[in-house]
């Protein structure tokens, strides 16, 4: 018999027990879709972090409060209570030839409503130079100005996402009023989109108000972070050293940490890779369970079809013919289950992308599909061998 005949026999056998075949595939479907879904969440998180750092540029340095040791993971990356002063940013700008500019930041959270639409997003208190440092440009209106900061004006610049969520695509909301904690702010600008999607996967999901206004609004008297831009990527190391030297005049070593954006990105990416692998491994367990389910069902199938096997052997079927038929049945179940699982996983990732950024990668699809095929072979071997070794006379006598 050739491969086509083996496959035809396998399909006929599976069609005879449609419900059992579907239930057998269910474990593989759940396993593959889980792998696709969880890996897509981990990969989406990595892409989000990479996009956020890329938006700052390779010549950006972050000055963080406390003794931050990113090598210790998320716990080591937690910042202490800030000891920074607004004057620290000015000192950094004037104290180093390698530093182009510095910008302090205060951060809070706000909920805004307009015309029945409501958004909750980060509120950044900024100097006017942050927009140049982070490469943000206005799509409508203007950015925050020095005059806004000096006069503690109640003006707000919307990121592209909250502007779209509140007012719709392509609408210019400049001049309208928004309320933050019962205080009205006038919209003076909307930032051009940098791309990204999902509720936590967009460099456009923020609002900005003058630094002095934010400090009063959120009752904060110190910036929690200072962004520093070196003159060029070649001068980043020098700028980092100068920043440490300048801040050490006033602060203790454990009261601040100066990190290059690329350095922080590499460390965070390593941890995210571990998280993604762990998520994939957890989902892979369900694939293993699905494979065991296939083996169990195929062993039951061998027992139920013992007389059929005996009859086929009696009319000339070889042990190889029997082995190939049962092995192909197992592989077909795995491949069809894998294909359905990929479709469900991709659809689930697309749906979740509305809330959390996801990214379905080709390697996760190929890995899941290849693993499901391997499971069909590995867990189908034992039942196939058992079927092939049945004695035809004993099989014909089986009741």
Task: Give 80-101 pLDDT, tens digit per residue.
Answer: 688 899 999 999 999 999 999 9
Query: Looking up tokens 């590995």, which residue turns up?
Result: 378
| Cβ contact 282:35 at 8 Å | no
pLDDT higher at 321 or 72: 321
Instruction: State the pLDDT at residue 73.
Output: 46
Name the nearest CA neighbour of 59 among 226, 230, 227, 225. 230
Phi-psi region of 178 (alpha: psi -120 to 50; beta: other; left: phi over 0): beta
The band of 26, judged by pLDDT with boundaries at 50, 70 and 90, is: confident
Whether residue 378 is predicted with pLDDT greater than 70 in this model: the reply is yes
Containing 135, the helix (H) or strand (E) segment is none
Report the pLDDT value the prediction gives residue 80, as an integer from 0 to 100.
Answer: 60
Instruction: Say if residue 216's pLDDT is above 60.
Output: yes
Angle of CA points 328, 333, 337, to nearest 5°: 145
Q: What average pLDDT does this structure show over 244-254?
A: 91
Res 262: pLDDT: 67
pLDDT band at 260 (very low <50, low <70, confident <90, very high): confident
What is the rounded CA–CA span in Å between residue 197 and residue 360? 14
Q: Is the pLDDT of residue 197 over 50?
A: no
| Least confident window among 58-72, 222-236, 298-312, 383-397 | 383-397
Residue with tokens 């919209």: 187
On average, the pLDDT of the chain sits at: 81
Residues 6 or more apart in contact with residue 198 via CB below 8 angstroms: 44, 48, 353, 354, 355, 356, 357, 358
Average pLDDT over residues 169-176: 92
Residue 190 has pLDDT above 90, yes or no: yes
Position 77 confidence tier, pLDDT thresholds 50, 70, 90: very low
pLDDT band per the 50, 70, 90 thresholds, residue 200: very low
* Bridge partner residues of 353 (DSSP): none
Confidence (pLDDT) at 163 = 94
> Over 90: is that where the pLDDT of 142 sits?
yes
Per-residue tokens: 282: 């957890």
Q: What's the whole-number mean pLDDT along residues 112-139?
A: 90
Q: For the residues 269-285, what does the mean pLDDT come to?
A: 74
What is this structure's pTM?
Answer: 0.58
111 pLDDT above the threshold of 60: yes
CA angle 218, 223, 228 (to 5 degrees): 140
The whole-number average pLDDT for the span 171-200 is 81
| Stretch 197-201: mean pLDDT | 38
Structural domain spans, the chain: 3-50+280-397, 104-229
pLDDT at 312 over 50: yes
Query: Where is pLDDT greater, at 104 or 382?
Result: 104
Query: Which residue, 366, 384, 364, 367, is CA-closest to 376?
Result: 384
- Helix or strand holding residue 255 (H, E): none
pLDDT of residue 140: 95
The fraction of the chain above a pLDDT of 70, given in percent, is 85
Give the pairing of strands 155-158 and 183-191.
Answer: parallel
- What pLDDT score was predicted for residue 2? 63
Task: Give the residue, 398 or 164, on which the prediction is more confident.
Answer: 164
- DSSP designation for 360: -
In angstroms, rounded to a whole number, what is the distance separating the alpha carbons of residues 388 and 378? 16
Query: What's the mean pLDDT in 340-350?
Result: 88
Which range in 16-25, 143-152, 352-361, 379-388 is most confidently predicted, on average pLDDT? 143-152
Confidence band (pLDDT; 50, 70, 90) for 51? low
- Please report the pLDDT score of residue 97 as a whole number: 93
């Amino acid at each position: 018999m050739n491969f086509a005949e083996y496959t035809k026999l396998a399909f006929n056998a599976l069609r005879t027990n449609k419900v059992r075949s579907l239930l057998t595939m269910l474990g593989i479907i759940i396993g593959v879709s889980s792998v696709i879904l969880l890996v897509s969440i981990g990969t989406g998180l990595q892409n989000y972090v990479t996009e956020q750092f890329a938006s700052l540029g390779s010549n950006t340095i972050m000055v963080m409060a406390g003794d931050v040791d990113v090598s210790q993971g998320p716990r080591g990356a937690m910042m202490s209570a800030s000891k920074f002063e607004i004057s620290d940013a000015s000192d950094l700008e004037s104290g180093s030839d390698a530093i182009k500019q510095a910008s302090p930041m205060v951060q809070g959270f706000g909920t805004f409503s307009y015309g029945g639409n409501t958004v909750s997003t980060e509120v950044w208190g900024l100097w006017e130079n942050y927009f140049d440092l982070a490469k943000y440009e206005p799509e409508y209106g203007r950015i925050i100005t020095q005059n806004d900061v000096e006069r503690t004006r109640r003006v707000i610049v919307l990121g592209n996402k909250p502007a779209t969520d509140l007012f719709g695509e392509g609408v210019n909301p400049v001049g309208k009023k928004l309320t933050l904690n019962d205080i009205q702010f006038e919209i003076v600008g909307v930032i051009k989109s940098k791309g990204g999607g999902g509720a936590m996967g967009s460099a456009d999901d923020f609002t900005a108000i003058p630094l002095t206004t934010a400090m009063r609004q959120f009752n904060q008297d110190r910036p929690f972070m200072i962004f520093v831009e070196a003159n060029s990527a070649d001068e980043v190391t020098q700028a980092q050293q100068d920043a440490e030297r300048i801040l050490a005049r006033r602060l203790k070593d454990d009261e601040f940490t100066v990190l290059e954006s690329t350095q922080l990105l590499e460390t965070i990416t390593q941890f995210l890779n571990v998280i993604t692998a762990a998520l994939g491994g957890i989902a892979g367990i369900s694939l293993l369970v699905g494979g065991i389910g296939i083996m169990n069902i195929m062993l039951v199938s061998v027992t139920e079809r013992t007389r059929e096997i005996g009859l086929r052997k009696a009319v000339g079927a070889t042990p190889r013919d029997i082995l190939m038929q049962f092995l192909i049945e197992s592989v077909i179940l795995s491949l069809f289950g894998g294909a359905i699982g990929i479709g469900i996983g991709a659809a689930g990732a697309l749906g979740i992308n509305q809330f959390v950024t996801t990214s379905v990668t080709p390697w996760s699809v190929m890995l899941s599909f290849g693993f499901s095929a391997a499971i069909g072979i590995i867990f189908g071997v034992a039942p196939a061998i058992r079927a092939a070794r049945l004695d035809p006379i004993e099989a014909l006598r089986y009741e």
